[in-house]
Structure 1
Amino acid sequence: MSTSTVSEFLEQMLMESGGFGRFQIVQLATILGSKISITWSLLMMAFAGATPNWWCQTGNSTLSDQTDINNASYWVKIEKSCEAKINGSMQTCPNKIFATDMSTVVGEWNLVCDEKWVASTVTSIQMAGLLLSGFLSGQLADVIGRRPTYFFSLIIMSASNIIAGFSTSWVMFAVMRFFIGLGCGMYLTVFYNYQIEFTPIRYRPLQIAIPDWSIWAACFGLVAWLLPNWSHLHIVTGVVTGMFLLSWWFIPESFRWLVSIGKLTEAGMVIKKIAKFNGKPVPKVDSLPAVVASDPSLVNGKKYTFLDVFRHREQLLKTVFAGIGWLSCGYGYYAISYGVEQLSGNLYLNMFLLSVVDIPALIATMFFNNKLGRRWTCFGFFIVGFISTMSVAISQIIAMDETLRGKLVNGFALAAKLGVSAAWGALMTFTVEIYPTVIRNLGYGIQNSVSRVGAMVAPQFVLISQDVTGVMYFLCGALMLLSAICCLFLPETKDKTILDTLSSEAGKSGPLDKSNVVLTDKQSVLETEKL
């Protein structure tokens, strides 16, 4: 029995258990609800690392009478000046005061002038945590399972956010941001595979199309406006994250992963639980051992490592071409998000708009994924990102009225965010489908780590673009174009069965062969005919 038949048998069991029923809806709502943790944690530095209005405050040297020190007229405030004229010579500003309308780590620890690099570096340190975690948690999820890895990520994010809220120095804050990054990387590596392995073929794009990230990101902009204190935001994020740990008693382990490591009894119990929750007859899973026994790769107890992702030439090429897209999306998404300060208008409104624009982006991703396929959807949105980011850069450097420039930059930046977000959403679905179950988390973890390389670089280019206009967006445009080209070298996966094992046929299975699937439930037949 071929690998594709094993995959089809598991797909059949899923459909007999109710397809996309009540269990899948509740599980999806729970996991996507917990995404508030990752969204707020990753976007935190867009606010917490923002620079409030500030002034250099010095004494008026023309007033020699020191009794005037208590008078307002004695003090001179120079906006955003790192130097001040003291006793007739320019010297480093002795005292900086910050606006009180927002409390960020910049104002908390005077991270301006010679220390303006700290905030962007803290963000890069956070992304380094995501990079490291992407490699480690990919292996972890394939060894100990999706479920414990997922919940461990929530524990790390909850604890780290709360402790970060009580930081007494920027060094302590940076360390906690690194641990937050570890938790975020672990979550991002496992959550999508965890939920998609419970989902029938035709509903896979739905996982990405639901604008949960966008909704939580928009909420973050609102909460940051209502609660403009970096410490309070961290504590609230940690508490909300901890609440989702209660779902441990509902969400089971992935039955696909259990089958891939030979735990067939446990897999059968999960399938039965899904069927009961969906109100369907319990499927006959007795034939599962015979189906799996026909494939030695599922019963030989082999432990897969990162080498298995690169050992086969076909998987290596897929990883490289997809990796370029992930690198570009990681850079583009966070460069635009963390560069929100460089847009004209209100900071909180711009944060909200940059988040809301993801909603139509993800809806469009679902539509085009099902109509055009994964490859052309990725290609099209990468081209949108290329055109938009280049337009932002050109608008920033050419001479024009400042009001018009602000409108053009903001408009093209929103279009660029839409293109990058939609491309990344399509690429996530694409990536999950090009790897078989036994190395899916390994491959997905590698791509997550690659994207964090781009995300680590992004804050530094946001800082550089303050002095070199347009450089951040020019680089983003070049990466978008390169990614669009690479998408054309990836095989289309639309309407194809998810592979479960690595074999000589890996990556070559065609569309689901309905003639090989025996269905005992009328609803399952209807679901299959829709594929």
Structure 2
Amino acid sequence: MRDYEEVTSFLGQWGPFQRLMYILLSLSSIPNGYVGMAMVFLADIPPHHCRLPFLNSSSYGGPGYNLSLPTQEVKGEVILSRCRRYTERGALDAESIQSTERCLDGFVFSKERYVSTIVTEWNLVCEDAWKAPFSVTVFFFGVLTGSFLSGIISDRYGRKFIFFATMAVQTIFSVIQAASNSWEMFSVLYFIVGMGQIANYCAAFILGSELLNKSCRISFATLGVSLSYAFGYVCLPLFAYFIRDWRMLLLALSVPGFLYIPMWWFIPESPRWLLSQGRIEEAEAIIRAAAKKNGITPPDVIFKRDDTAELMQKDCDGGQNTYTWLDLLRTSNIRNTTLVNLIMWISVGLTYYGLSLNTSNMEGDPYLNCLIAAGSEVLGYSCIFLAASYLPRRVTLPFCLIVCGVVLLIIKFVPEDLNTLTTTLAMVGKTCITGAYGFLYLYCTELFPTVVRNMGLGVTSMASRFGSTVAPYVAYMGTYDKVLPYLLMSGISIITGILSITLPETKDDELPELISQVKPLHCFCQKQRPVERKSQEENIQVGIGLENSHG
């Protein structure tokens, strides 16, 4: 049978329809770039100390505080204690020994950098310091849940539906979140925003990969959505620099989501998905509309019955099969591919978000550090585009992961006074892991078949959230030992890079349509045997046999 690419080849490679889909779906990823990373500024912890009402001063470091508070050493600098005060009221000389107590009257925060953050709003310091990183963990739990549910919903009800539904969830609940009156309310809403954020990104990725042809797919995956995501990340420190109040910053980051509403009338459903559901007429209507936009006259019959027999996926009674995440474990090939991807995504998610959230612990201005980190993403995605275009998949991914691990390991041996070199090495590692993260989306799209592609990408990207939920605490380690997070992420990256070599090569191959078309893993000590080609009749019989046995 003819494959989908061959059937729709009359559309051309880069007509008005392809350009419009490329641009619109890429631009939709801009908000995703700053929603998850906004907590770098929303939850940053300004300098602070106990409030002492008897001094009649609410400003940080006001008169009398230096004599009424104990001191502590932080990173070699002696400062006023952040969480303790003297038990007895009054001025004390430096030689006296007095008992201390926790801050009973709240805290005074420095306003040199921020007007407010969620930390200053709800005093998330000292005994409650765990709440700030936990808010980020709650967000990633939402991302995890969204990854799981969106894949099932998308493969059952369509790519377009989940794409716009999750965009609405992310935008509307971000606006509501800006009006939170408690930390608990903020965290619950952040969970819902996380559900929409990753689901929207995955849906855009899948929709673009299935609407565009093979020649555009690599560019779309590594430059289109990825660079748009990076551009959103670049916008974050710029917004945060000029808007120092967390509520106004969150509102300013949320409102642009409403600008995407008109896209509903321009972006169609995926014809590949419609064909897999047996909705041939709807798929043909979309292809004909695309041909009209490209100024091309389509053939009288686009999809023949023989061409769509396997894609329709009917069971023996003529009913339509419903796929679940259990189908990702149906055969040994797809099961092994799924398990290896789960491990890789967990590792890459932990390292990527660990390095991103760790920018607040780096020396220097946090806005500049965040801007440099965002710039490293632009470089990472640009490099991965070139690598994906010319290098085998089984070379690109291991190279990115192993180089990232080695660079982060070198930080262990950098003298403490060479902060610039440490920052440079961290950003090189960030560039490599960013490239690996973006590349995984492309690679998974090519590894999983159409009937469970969005589900496969959803489940594996969901696994990365197990890593990202731990990432805030990995970054939090940096407040006590700045080298420890790098050592942890280094070891994980190197091990995962070696494991990724076992995945099959997919460069220049057609996207698989059926579960039976998934390739086996490539073991280090085993030479792969070529897959024998079967006739059209044999392929149809194998497809029907699998459907009857698993339907």
TM-score higher than 0.5 = yes
Deviations 1:465-488 (CA, angstroms, capped at 9, x unpaired): 322442222121111112111211
CA distance in 1, matches of 2:80, 2:7: 67
Query: Percentage identity across aligned positions?
Result: 27
Q: 1:90 corresponds to which residue?
A: 100
Q: 1:273 corresponds to which residue?
A: 289
Deviations 1:59-101 (CA, angstroms, capped at 9, x unpaired): 68xxxxx89999x644547645210113143111234111223
Q: CA shift at 1:295, angstroms?
A: 6.1
Q: Give the residue type in structure 2 aligned to 1:142.
A: D
TM, length-normalised to structure 2:
0.85
Structure 2 residue 184 is the aligned partner of structure 1 residue 171: yes
CA distance in 2, matches of 1:318, 1:69: 59
Deviations 1:175-219 (CA, angstroms, capped at 9, x unpaired): 110000111132133221111101111222112332222111111
Q: 1:529 corresponds to which residue?
A: none
Q: CA shift at 1:56, angstroms?
A: 2.9
Q: Is the 8 A contact 1:275 1:283 kept in 2?
A: no
CA distance in 1, matches of 2:56, 2:209: 72
Q: Is the 8 A contact 1:69 1:75 kept in 2?
A: no
Q: 2:139 corresponds to which residue?
A: 126
Q: Give the residue type in structure 2 aligned to 1:15.
A: S
In structure 2, stretches of 5+ residues that fail to align are 70-78, 89-97, 521-528, 537-551
Q: 2:161 corresponds to which residue?
A: 148
Q: Give the residue type in structure 2 aligned to 1:89.
A: S
Deviations 1:402-445 (CA, angstroms, capped at 9, x unpaired): 2x1x1122111100100100111222111110111001011101
Q: 1:218 corresponds to which residue?
A: 234
Aligned residues: 495
Matches within 5 A, 1:465-504: 465-503=478-516
Q: 2:110 corresponds to which residue?
A: 99
Structure 2 residue 377 is the aligned partner of structure 1 residue 355: no
CA RMSD of aligned residues (A): 2.5
Q: Give the residue type in structure 1 aligned to 2:21.
A: Q
3-state DSSP class of the match of 2:510?
Answer: coil
Q: Give the residue type in structure 1 aligned to 2:236.
A: F
Q: CA shift at 1:296, angstroms?
A: 6.6
Q: 1:419 corresponds to which residue?
A: 432
Q: Give the counterpart of 2:467 among 417, 438, 454.
A: 454
Q: Is the 8 A contact 2:106 2:123 kept in 1?
A: no
Q: Give the residue type in structure 2 aligned to 1:85.
A: Y
CA distance in 1, matches of 2:416, 2:387: 38
CA distance in 2, matches of 1:19, 1:472: 45
Q: 1:40 corresponds to which residue?
A: 34
Q: Is the 8 A contact 2:18 2:212 kept in 1?
A: yes
3-state DSSP class of the match of 1:97?
Answer: strand
Q: CA shift at 1:311, angstroms?
A: 1.3
Q: Give the residue type in structure 2 aligned to 1:212.
A: S
Matches within 5 A, 1:181-200: 181-200=194-213
Matches within 5 A, 1:333-352: 333-352=352-371
Q: CA distance change for structure 1 residues 290 and 506 in 2, over 3 Å: closer, same or farther?
A: same
CA distance in 1, matches of 2:186, 2:242: 23
Q: Is the 8 A contact 2:144 2:462 kept in 1?
A: yes
Q: 1:521 corresponds to which residue?
A: none
CA distance in 1, matches of 2:345, 2:353: 12
Q: Give the counterpart of 2:518 among 506, 516, 527.
A: 506
Q: CA shift at 1:320, angstroms?
A: 1.4
Q: CA distance change for structure 1 residues 294 and 435 in 2, over 3 Å: closer, same or farther?
A: closer
Q: Is the 8 A contact 1:59 1:75 kept in 2?
A: no
Q: CA shift at 1:57, angstroms?
A: 3.7
Q: CA shift at 1:367, angstroms?
A: 1.0
Deviations 1:266-322 (CA, angstroms, capped at 9, x unpaired): 000110111112222224434433311366736751111111111111111111112
Q: Give the residue type in structure 2 aligned to 1:494.
A: K
Task: Pick which of 90-99 and 373-382 moved more.
Answer: 90-99
Q: Is the 8 A contact 1:165 1:234 kept in 2?
A: yes
CA distance in 2, matches of 1:152, 1:228: 31
Q: Is the 8 A contact 1:37 1:237 kept in 2?
A: yes
Deviations 1:473-522 (CA, angstroms, capped at 9, x unpaired): 2121111112111211100000000111223x4338999x9xx9xxxxxx
3-state DSSP class of the match of 2:441?
Answer: helix
Matches within 5 A, 1:360-379: 360-379=379-398
Q: CA distance change for structure 1 residues 123 and 59 in 2, over 3 Å: closer, same or farther?
A: same
Q: Give the residue type in structure 2 aligned to 1:27.
A: M
Q: Is the 8 A contact 2:138 2:187 kept in 1?
A: yes
Q: Is the 8 A contact 1:298 1:501 kept in 2?
A: no
CA distance in 1, matches of 2:56, 2:109: 25
CA distance in 1, matches of 2:355, 2:461: 18
CA distance in 2, matches of 1:92, 1:13: 72
Q: 1:527 corresponds to which residue?
A: none
Q: CA distance change for structure 1 residues 145 and 393 in 2, over 3 Å: closer, same or farther?
A: farther
CA distance in 1, matches of 2:176, 2:134: 19
Q: 2:339 corresponds to which residue?
A: 320
CA distance in 2, matches of 1:341, 1:351: 8
Task: Pick which of 381-390 and 73-82 moved more.
Answer: 73-82
Structure 2 residue 47 is the aligned partner of structure 1 residue 53: yes
CA distance in 1, matches of 2:215, 2:132: 43
TM, length-normalised to structure 1:
0.88
Q: Is the 8 A contact 2:26 2:228 kept in 1?
A: yes
3-state DSSP class of the match of 2:297?
Answer: coil
Q: Give the residue type in structure 2 aligned to 1:163.
A: I
3-state DSSP class of the match of 1:276?
Answer: helix
Q: CA distance change for structure 1 residues 156 and 510 in 2, over 3 Å: closer, same or farther?
A: farther
Q: CA shift at 1:394, angstroms?
A: 4.0
Q: Is the 8 A contact 1:388 1:413 kept in 2?
A: yes
CA distance in 1, matches of 2:233, 2:482: 27
Q: Is the 8 A contact 2:51 2:108 kept in 1?
A: yes
Q: 2:524 corresponds to which residue?
A: none
Q: Is the 8 A contact 1:374 1:429 kept in 2?
A: no
Q: Is the 8 A contact 2:234 2:375 kept in 1?
A: yes
Task: Pick which of 122-131 and 241-250 moved more.
Answer: 241-250
CA distance in 1, matches of 2:342, 2:500: 10
Q: 2:548 corresponds to which residue?
A: none
Q: Is the 8 A contact 1:158 1:237 kept in 2?
A: no
Q: Give the counterpart of 2:22 among 25, 28, 34.
A: 28
Q: CA distance change for structure 1 residues 250 and 388 in 2, over 3 Å: closer, same or farther?
A: same
CA distance in 1, matches of 2:237, 2:257: 18
3-state DSSP class of the match of 2:85?
Answer: strand
Structure 2 residue 376 is the aligned partner of structure 1 residue 382: no
Q: 2:91 corresponds to which residue?
A: none
Q: 1:526 corresponds to which residue?
A: none
Q: 2:92 corresponds to which residue?
A: none
CA distance in 1, matches of 2:44, 2:398: 33
